[in-house]
Amino acid sequence: MFDKEYDVIVVGAGHAGAEAAAAAANLGSKTLLITMNLQTIGQMSCNPAMGGIAKGQIVREIDALGGYSGIITDKSAIQFKMLNKSKGPAMWSPRAQSDRMRFAEEWRIALENTPNVDFYQEMVSGLLVEGTKIVGVKTSLGLEIKSKSVVLTNGTFLNGLIHIGNKQFGGGRAGEKASTGITEQLLSFGFDSGRMKTGTPPRVDGRSLDYSAMIPQPGDINPDKFSYLDTKALTTQRDCHMSHTSALVHDLLREGFDRSPMFNGRIKSLGPRYCPSIEDKINRFADKDSHQLFVEPEGWNTVEVYVNGFSTSLPEDIQFKALRSVKGFEKVKFFRPGYAIEYDYFPPTQLKHTLETKLIDNLYFAGQINGTTGYEEAASQGLMAGINAHLKINEKDPFILQRDEAYIGVLVDDLITKGTEEPYRMFTSRAEYRTLLRQDNADLRLTPMSYKIGLASKERLVRMEQKERESDSFVQFFRETSFVPDDINPILDQLDSSLVKQPDKMFKVFSRPKVTMDHMKELEPVSNYINENKLGREVLEQTEIQVKYAGYIAKEKNNADKLQRLENIKIPDNFDYSKLKSLSFEAREKLKSIKPVSISQASRISGVSPSDISVLLVYMGR
Ligand code: FAD
């Protein structure tokens, strides 16, 4: 059946697997995407939404690099919001509510239209390894399929165990089988594994809800979109709604606590702290008698509704009774109860920056298997693993993003340097250079790099270069053009900003906190410039940020450059730390196991102190 050897086999077609297959194939690798169920390619296991704080930046970065998640989200969105718009642009985060079924369908269409991708539906039960090198996979039917590299993206499926109240059963997601065999084999090769837990809320019938008792949550009036390519922004949107739990709802939920797998010891592993179940929230924040619930439609043409904020593994009768006491849910009908799932993951300190495993050559891990949670985190790892699998078998340099270049760089570096003991999700606070890593400039940061390795298309590059050229020239216009006090003072007066007495450069007044592009547009030379050059929304936004945040951006660039010097002090591959007696015991053990590639990476390992770094620097003659 499979007489040829593939370049890359991707196991699993969730967000990580789909991006990995697309990237490897678009770079020219003969790729096989093998998954347990071809109907669930790009399935959103939990909430029907992409993006959000820090995650929206990641989707923009995936898009800038030539991945598909941004395009698919634009094609299947039902609502769009730019979060944190009242804060500085480093915090602006795009988020889209998606049509769950269309999202998965668009992924399938996109992959079927990607040359070089073959598909096969089966469970991979083992890996074919010769010496320390991967040479293919084995399926549960006993097929052996050869390849030069393998990317594992098994998500929540490895020995998955689903919990609802006292009931427990094997599964990778509700209604889907768990994956067995791979964990056990990897352990036999010397890998470490752990268990994590996540949960999901019930889905309900929208026809049974009373929306008049809830608060509407509409999308943005002028919705933006994710992709830097020519996808369409929404012209109509669906509203979400907000409701609240109450003291009565909490009391009803408490009635099921003795049957809760969270509290009676059945669930032993750690879940995402920042995305707790409703029973966890009631327990941890006992003084609060109300929590927000977001009522999110699952698509354009379905009545199914996702109850965001009500994730639970309590018995289904308790879930039902409690939800019926929430305002607007008095007559609710269930589509599916909420549940929790425990699954195996592999501590990511066992990986290199390319996401290749340290133990087996040409074997890559991406997504939830690395202890992360979230579609965006998974998709970005898939993209990076797909790219690097292709580059390695073609003997090309690896593609690694630094912490000052992308959130994806922060994500991968955090995972492989620090590891994670609870499901890792991205936050803006994890990035030291968030003024540089904005959602508006991911194309400027990353598209040229991706074009260079052959992934981002010429069209992407041309669009990005035009945006860069136009915004640079417009910034220059503000630097060079002067205003007349009589023109600007009426605007400043309205804003309670001190008036000016003499003409000055526009850049200076535009830099003031309250002055925006909309105000500047009231000046004739500015509006003329925009019209003559036919500048679009993206260029106006980029110019405004470049002018208003010029000082912060320059300062962060400077800090990043300083750190780059430490990044440039490389540590040889098999450096013998045992000969450095002045290193602390903990530092020596951590350095031996993580094998940092640079002094800078070594300094980020927990347990490696500044004095350990000095020892290394002295040894290296610095
Ligand atoms: P998945 O999307 O899980 O995809 C794995 C893929 O691998 C599937 O296609 C599966 O069929 C395939 N596969 C697995 N094993 C094999 C095998 N041996 N052979 C062939 N194919 C295989 N994220 C959040 O951010 N917030 C949440 O609140 C949240 N809650 C969740 C609740 C539940 C119940 C679940 C299941 C997930 C939740 N997630 C949540 C996580 C989110 O779904 C994942 O982070 C994301 O889907 C991970 O993507 P992935 O590609 O790594 O894996």
- Alpha carbon of 123 to ligand 1 centroid (Å): 15
Give 367 Cα–ligand 1 centroid separation in angstroms: 8
Inter-residue contact 396 to 35 (CB < 8 Å): no
Query: What's the gap in Å between 14 CA and the centre of ligand 1?
Result: 6
In this prediction, residue 466 carries a pLDDT of 98
Check pLDDT > 90 for residue 563.
no
Confidence of residue 214 (pLDDT cuts 50, 70, 90): very high
* Atom of ligand 1 lying closest to residue 12 CA: 7
CA of 255 to the centre of ligand 1 (A): 31
CB atoms within 10 A of CB 50: 29
Residue with tokens 């290193």: 583
Q: How far apart are the first and last CA of the chain?
A: 58
129: left (phi over 0), alpha (psi -120 to 50) or beta: beta
Asked if 387 and 364 touch (Cβ cutoff 8 Å), the reply is no
For ligand 1, atom 18: residue with the closest CA: 124
pLDDT at residue 396, as a whole number: 98
CA–chain centroid gap for 407, Å, is: 9
Of 72-81, 292-301, 351-360, 494-503, the range with the lowest mean pLDDT is 494-503
Residue 181 CA: nearest ligand 1 atom is 18
Residue 17, CA distances (Å) to 159, 365, 399 in order = 18, 10, 18
**Rounded Cα gap, residues 155 and 13, in angstroms:** 9
Q: Which residues contact 194 (CB under 8 A, 6 or more apart)?
A: 269, 344, 345, 346, 347, 371, 421
In this structure, the residues whose C-beta lies within 6 A of any atom of ligand 1 are: 11-17, 34-37, 40, 45-46, 123-124, 153-157, 172-173, 179, 182, 198-200, 275, 341, 367-368, 373-375, 378
| Separation between Cα atoms, residue 417 and residue 398, nearest integer Å | 18
Share of the chain above pLDDT 90, in %: 86
Residue count of the chain, please give it. 622
What's 227's DSSP letter?
-
Assess contact for 271 and 422: CB atoms under 8 A: yes
Going 23 to 29 to 30 to 34, the CA torsion angle's sign is: negative
* Nearest residue to 173 via CA among 225, 78, 100, 105: 100
CA nearest ligand 1 atom 3, residue: 155
Give the model's pLDDT for residue 4.
82
Q: What is the pTM of this model?
A: 0.95
Atom 2, ligand 1: residue with shortest CA distance: 14
pLDDT at 272: 78
- CA dist 362 and 393 (Å) reads 8
Residues paired with 195 in a beta bridge: 344
Q: Which of 35, 39, 41, 45 to mutate for ligand 1's pocket (most ligand atoms within 8 Å of CB)? A: 45
Ligand 1 centroid distance, CA of 323 (Å): 26
Q: What is the mean pLDDT of residues 530-538?
A: 96
351 sits in which H/E element: none
Cα(187)–Cα(9) distance, integer angstroms:
21
Question: Of 241, 229, 8, 226, which is closest to residue 103 (Cα–Cα)?
Answer: 226
Residue 54 Cα to ligand 1 middle (Å): 20
Give yes or no for a contact between 329 and 323, defined as CB atoms under 8 angstroms apart: yes
Distance in Å, CA 152 to ligand 1 centroid: 12
**Measured between alpha carbons, how far is 282 from 408 in angstroms, rounded to an integer?**
34
Annotated binding site: 12-17, 124, 179, 271-285, 368
Nearest atom, ligand 1, residue 339 CA: 34
Distance 411 CA to ligand 1 centre (A): 18
Give the separation between CA 138 and CA 127, rounded to whole angstroms. Answer: 6
What is the number of the ligand 1 atom nearest to the C-alpha of 17? 51
CA distances from 435 to 92, 270, 501 (A): 11, 32, 33
User: How confident is the model at residue 541, as a pLDDT?
Assistant: 95
3-state secondary structure of 589: helix
User: Which residues 6+ apart lie within 8 Å of 113 measured at CB?
Assistant: none
Residue nearest to atom 12 of ligand 1 (CA): 12
Q: How far apart are CA 246 and CA 249, in angstroms?
A: 5
Mean pLDDT of the 24-33 span: 98
pLDDT at 1: 80
430 Cα distance to chain centroid: 13
Say yes or no to pLDDT of 322 above 80: yes
- In a 3-state reduction of DSSP, which class is residue 126? strand
| Neighbour count for residue 411 (Cβ, 10 Å) | 28
Mean pLDDT over the full length of the chain: 95
**What is the residue-wise DSSP string for 32-59?**
EEEES-GGGTT--SS-SEEE-TTHHHHH
Q: What is the mean pLDDT of residues 526-532?
A: 97
ipTM computed for the complex: 0.98
- Using the Cα atoms of residue 307, residue 311, residue 313 and residue 318 in order, give the sign of their dihedral: negative
pLDDT (tens digit, 9 = 90+) per residue, 412-464? 999 999 999 899 999 999 999 999 999 999 999 999 999 999 999 999 999 99
Residue nearest to atom 46 of ligand 1 (CA): 375
Q: Helices 69-76 and 55-65: crossing angle, nearest 10°?
A: 110
Digit-coded pLDDT (tens) for 421-433: 899 999 999 999 9
pLDDT of residue 622: 67
* DSSP at 256: T
Which of 95, 122, 157, 422 most suits a substitution to test ligand 1, by most atoms within 8 Å of the C-beta?
157
> pLDDT tens across 344-353, in order?
999 999 999 9
**Between β-strands 292-297 and 482-483, what pairing exists: parallel, antiparallel or unpaired?**
unpaired
Mutate to test the pocket of ligand 1, among 39, 156, 307, 345 (most ligand atoms within 8 A of CB): 156
Ligand 1 centroid – CA 104 distance (Å): 13
pLDDT mean over 469-485: 96
Instruction: Name which of 81-90, 304-313, 560-569 the model is least confident about.
Output: 560-569
| pLDDT at 5 > cutoff 70 | yes
- Other CB atoms within a 10 A radius of the CB of residue 266 amount to 18
Average pLDDT over residues 67-92: 95
Q: Annotated binding residues for NAD(+), as ranges?
A: 271-285
Confidence of residue 274 (pLDDT cuts 50, 70, 90): confident
